[in-house]
Amino acid sequence: MSQDNAALDPAATADSQATISAEIEAAHAGYARDLAAGGAEETQPRVNFPPYRSSLLRHPTKSLHHADPETIELFSPAFGERDVHPLEADLTIQHHGEPIGERIVVAGRVLDGDGRPVAGQLIEVWQANAAGRYVHKRDQHPAPIDPNFTGVGRALTGPNGEYRFTTIKPAPYPWKNHHNAWRPAHIHFSLFGTDFTQRMITQMYFPGDPLFALDPIYQSITDQRARDRLVATYDHSLTSHEWSTGYQWDIVLTGSNRTWMENEEEEH
Amino acid sequence: MSSAPELKLTPTPGQTIGPFYGYALPFPGGERLVERSHPGAVRLHGTVYDGAGVPVPDALLEIWQPDEDGAVASAPGSLLRDGYTFTGWGRQAVDNVGGFCFTTVNPGATEPGKAPFIQLVVFARGLLNRLFTRIYLPEDEAALAADPLLSSLPPERRSSLIARREADGSLRFDVHLQGENETVFLSFPRNGEA
């Protein structure tokens, strides 16, 4: 509700989409020039990305300091069947009735940077409903809450790193970064690896979303190939007859440091 | 140390946690690695600040640490919190004035002579990718002086990674995402970035 912009979000601005888009284009053009001049390929979002206004005061200005991981950093917390029930991977059965919207399956694998499956680890997801509304008290978007949809799921990856959620396709929703700002539809993913240094949170998007070009969060990744890694693929083999459509999305974590550092110690 | 082997696959990009994780990620007891009645219970508390020195009310923190003897936990049960199993991991969303408060134990040294620390990861609305850092215990000055990470930092930045022991035995550690007292944030080998 626009009159409450400042109270709800101190970072809310009245900038136009054209202003934001011009800033995004300038950042991307600069990256393209650097790349052509032999600069490094960017694979992660920039934490300093001014078109995402909330990032202005929340990004470190000094470069990250290189650290060689110590013992605790080479391991990760363990989660088990006591922590997560298999039915928590179905977001459509948490209430008495069927949620409204397009039922979908999202499935894939979690791998590490060496291509090894990350088995038995926790994946958490959360998302808006089919109207673009989150079950969160700070979400004031006047779209209906669905009493049959909370939008939270959890799972443990299988022996080959596989996961599978059943849910409802989320809708885009407005936010207050600038005037008439809309997020592309997405599902938030939270992931653990075998080393805690692989911990990550990201967002999965749907193919062909017309809002991609306009969104400063998605576009904070300046490289198109890297952006594409966040977009799921429609997969008809995951679609079930008269039941749901299916999307496939694999997630790659950073490389584990445990194996090679242990091997190196043994060689000494 | 020799250089880390190259990755076969490019890691998936991160994205901000956004503002609406509050009904999804925090869970009852997430901030309690041990019960408050545990004989070695320690309060680890502080505030997350932005570059203007204003508390950040929508950050989520996770800690990961060894037990009092320096052993790395491998037991599941973090989401269950049975009150008996030390799993070494905690999660808390900061309160509306940026404050956090974990109940944990002092981590032990994982190897003799190593400086004990707690690993911390920070997520927040407005933060496009997670940030890693370390919370060192202040006591073992010899170990701190010998620590490879701390000794590679200028003194004024080094102090941003060392918790303060308060009179009541608690550990105080503030996170500054930006600004004069900016916390040292870390990158690790094999993260797929140039």
Selected residues 134-173 of chain B with any CB under 8 Å from a CB in chain A: 134, 148-149, 152-153
Catalytic hit among A28, A141, A188, A227: A188
Q: Do the Cβ atoms of B60 and A60 come closer than 8 Å?
A: no
Task: Give me the residue spans of the domains in chain B.
Answer: 42-176
ipTM comes to 0.97
Q: What is the pLDDT of residue A110?
A: 98
Mean pLDDT taken over chain A: 94
Flag whether residue B24 sits within 8 Å of chain A, measured between CB atoms: yes
Average pLDDT of the segment spanning B138-143: 96
For domain B42-176, the CATH class is mainly beta
Whose structure tokens read 């140039």?
A: B194
pLDDT digits (tens, 9 = 90+) for B44-83: 999 999 999 999 999 999 999 999 999 999 999 999 999 9
Active site residue A188: yes
Residue A95: active-site member: no
pLDDT of amino acid B194: 67
Q: Which of A40, A68, A257 comes nearest B194 by C-beta?
A: A40
Summarize the confidence of residues B7-19 as an average pLDDT: 97
In this structure, what are the phi and psi dihedrals at residue B11, rounded to the nearest 5 degrees? -60, 150
In the prediction, which pLDDT does A11 show?
Answer: 58
A241 annotated active-site? no
First to last CA, chain A: 64
Across A161-183, average pLDDT: 97
A59 has catalytic annotation: no
Structural domains in chain A, CATH included, are 2-60+76-256 (2.60.130.10)
Helix, strand or coil, per DSSP, at residue A2: helix
A84, A114, A229 member nearest B7 (Cβ): A114
The nearest CA of chain B is from the CA of A237 a distance in Å of 23
- Residues listed for chain B: 194
Sequence length of chain A is 268
**Considering only A10-14, A92-96, B18-22, B35-39, which range has the smallest mean pLDDT?**
A10-14
Which position among A52, A134, A218, A247 bears the catalytic label? A134
Prediction pTM value:
0.96
Given a cut of 80, is residue A3 above it in pLDDT?
no
For B76-129, the pLDDT digits (tens) are 999 999 999 999 999 999 999 999 999 999 999 999 999 999 999 999 999 999
Q: Which is it for strands B171-172 and B42-49: parallel, antiparallel or unpaired? A: parallel
**pLDDT level of residue A2 (50, 70, 90 thresholds):** very low
Q: Measure CB to CB from residue A138 to each of B1, B4, B20 and give the nearest one.
A: B20
pLDDT given at position A259: 82
Task: For B7-116, list the strands marked E by DSSP.
Answer: 42-49, 59-64, 89-93, 99-104
**Mean pLDDT (whole number) for A49-57:** 97
> ∠ at Cα A256 (A254, A261), nearest 5°?
140
